[in-house]
Amino acid sequence: MPFSSLSEIKARLDAGETTAVEVAQLYLDRIKAHNDQLNAFVHLDAAHVLAQAQASDAYRAKHEPRPLEGLPIAVKDIFCTQNGPTRCCSTILEGFEAPYDAHVITRLKEAGAVLVGKTNMDEFAMGSSTETSAFGVCRNPWDISRIPGGSSGGSASAVAAALAPAALGTDTGGSIRQPASLCGITGLKPTYGRVSRRGIIAFASSLDQAGPMTRNVRDAAMVTAAMAGHDSGDATSVADAPALDWLAACDKRDMTGLRIGKPKEYFVDGMDEGVRAAVEAALQQCEALGAEIVDISLPHTEYAVATYYVIAPSEASANLSRYDGVRFGHRCNEPEDLLDMYTRSRDEGFGAEVKRRILTGAFALSSGYYDAYYLKAQQVRTLIQQDFLQAFEQVDVIATPTSPVTAFAVGEKTDDPLTMYLADIFTIALNLAGLPGMSQPCGMVDGLPVGLQWIAPAWREDLLLGAASAYEASTDWSKQEPQAFAANGGEA
């Protein structure tokens, strides 16, 4: 049971073989047993989890079960929840408890899900390793001396170690896909505008998008189906987005005739050769399943990281201005005057990486530099979007490695921000283009998972789900488990 998928738990709940309370208790026990090693959860209210599970069982006793009835889902600390603290893993939000649920939290509750705790993340989602968290480093279950990726590292670690069957993440430049890849699980970033951002703490508003982190493709579709949909409270949530039949998209497991683009810019010198080999092998597998592999070019890829590191910090510099010590969160002791209160509260409340990005963003937006940085970055962003539009004239989907490397050691890159930024080199471009993307396991290198990334045109998550389901059905990679966390699992 512990390494079960959402779909399997759902089947057992529907068959009456177990209850939501039993399932919740199982995962609570596993969190208790393993979280000290992993630091995947930074907040857990066990009584609240059990209360939700009891309510779900009571609902099931009287009604038709809802789509996620009784299914435990862990929540990244970036989603505001009425229950418990919401900290974005930052000291600046010390003491903050949101008086509201994020829109997607409301939707998951309405779908019957049991929300479990808050998972660790890089502070304000700024990072690729979950090492900048105010609550300490999160660990990768495949090797606890290594990072789980980031920023949704806590969610990835929790799902990979079966401390939760599924989790929510957010993805601004790869923060769902990269940790999913490094932890050997499945992660989906929907099209920008597919899922409401309301109540999700903003990092870079034009890039942020929430999505699921799960043990297989179908589970990702199940959770996204509950999350997606127009929200009149988010002006960037698209009202007339084409609706999808998420689960049906997973059932079409036929790759025959599917044109898969293989962009040369994503198979480059300097990437891990084991990763390259695993992804090449996955593409050959797809070819064997009837797909056509088409060599393509996305010529502006090399500018994606630079473009991202102008736009995302610029937006962040404004988004994080509200943490000023005036109304909520951390305020310094005994401020001398207003300026002292601002500077000391923010100095004490934000970590080094967050400060670096605020400064970078404020600089890029400042008078005299705006044209050279922000405006230029927006222009390049348009070119990157056009790259993809042109590519999708030739191919149906694009496949790439999710990350150029497997999980690296804790502390390995913390002193070198630029190297850390390059961890997202393959995931960033599609955020800039607003496109949907997905990562699924496609191999192991030295005992560490490798991720295969799928990219589709806007609103065509069905193509991602179809391709990924077909590939998944033909391999065992998503069934791999980190043995260190299987031992105490037992059977429910």
Partner 1 sequence: MSWEVVIGLEVHVQINTATKAFCGCSTEFGSEPNTQTCPVCLGMPGQLPVLNGLAAEKTILTGLAINAGINLESKFDRKNYFYPDLPKGYQISQFAVPLVEGGYLDIPGKDGGEKRIGITRIHMEEDAGKSMHEGLDGVSHIDLNRSGVPLMEIVSEPDMRSADEAIAYLKQLHQLIVFLDVSGANMEMGQFRCDANVSVHQPGTPFGTRAELKNLNSFRFIKQAIEYEVNRQIELIEDGGEVVQETRLYDSAMGESRSMRSKEEAHDYRYFPEPDLPPLRVTQQQVDQIRAGMPELPGQLRHRFEREYGLSSYDADVLTQTRALADWYESLVAAHPSDPKRCANWLANELLGRLKELGKEIEHSPVSAHRLAGMLDRIADNTISGKIAKDVLDAMLASDADADAIIEAKGLKQVSDSGAIDAIIEAVMAANPDQLAGYRAGKEKLMGFFVGQVMKASKGQANPGMVNQRLTVLLKG
Contacting positions for partner 1 (CB under 8 A): 80, 86, 88, 93, 96, 98-100, 102, 197-202, 204-206, 232-236, 314-315, 317-318, 320-322, 324, 326-328, 338, 342, 362, 365-367, 370, 374
Nearer to partner 1, 68 or 93 (CB): 93
Catalytic residue among 7, 133, 151, 469: 151
Note if 10 is an active site residue.
Answer: no
Q: How far is the CB of 318 from partner 1 (least distance, A)?
A: 5
Q: Which of 475, 474, 455 is CA-nearest to residue 465?
A: 455
Q: How far is the CB of 170 from partner 1 (least distance, A)?
A: 11
Q: How far is the CB of 439 from partner 1 (least distance, A)?
A: 25
**Pairwise CA distance, residues 338 & 342, whole Å:** 6
* Residues 6+ positions from 191 with CB-CB distance below 8 Å: 209, 241, 434, 435, 436, 458, 459, 460, 461
Nearer to partner 1, 77 or 265 (CB): 77
Note if 314 is an active site residue.
Answer: no
Nearer to partner 1, 132 or 186 (CB): 132
Q: Where are the alpha helices (DSSP H) in 88-173?
A: 103-110, 153-160
Nearer to partner 1, 297 or 366 (CB): 366
Q: How far is the CB of 431 from partner 1 (least distance, A)?
A: 13
Q: Which of 201, 170, 167, 128 is CA-nearest to residue 40?
A: 167
Note if 76 is an active site residue.
Answer: yes
Q: Are 189 and 305 in contact (CB under 8 A)?
A: no
**Pairwise CA distance, residues 392 & 124, whole Å:** 33
Ramachandran region, residue 106 (left: φ > 0; alpha: ψ -120 to 50; beta: rest): alpha
Catalytic residue among 10, 76, 262, 413: 76
What is the edge-to-edge ordering of all strands in the sheet holding 114-119? 41-43, 114-119, 72-76, 166-171, 209-214, 186-189, 437-445, 448-455, 397-401, 259-263, 292-296
Q: How far is the CB of 361 from partner 1 (least distance, A)?
A: 9
Nearer to partner 1, 236 or 386 (CB): 236
Long-range contacts at 32-38 (CB < 8 A, ≥ 24 apart): 33/488, 34/161, 34/163, 34/485, 34/488, 35/163, 37/139, 37/144, 38/138, 38/139, 38/141, 38/144, 38/148, 38/157, 38/158, 38/161, 38/163
Catalytic residue among 175, 196, 314, 478: 175
Q: How far is the CB of 452 from partner 1 (least distance, A)?
A: 30
Nearer to partner 1, 93 or 162 (CB): 93
Residues annotated as catalytic are 76, 151, 175
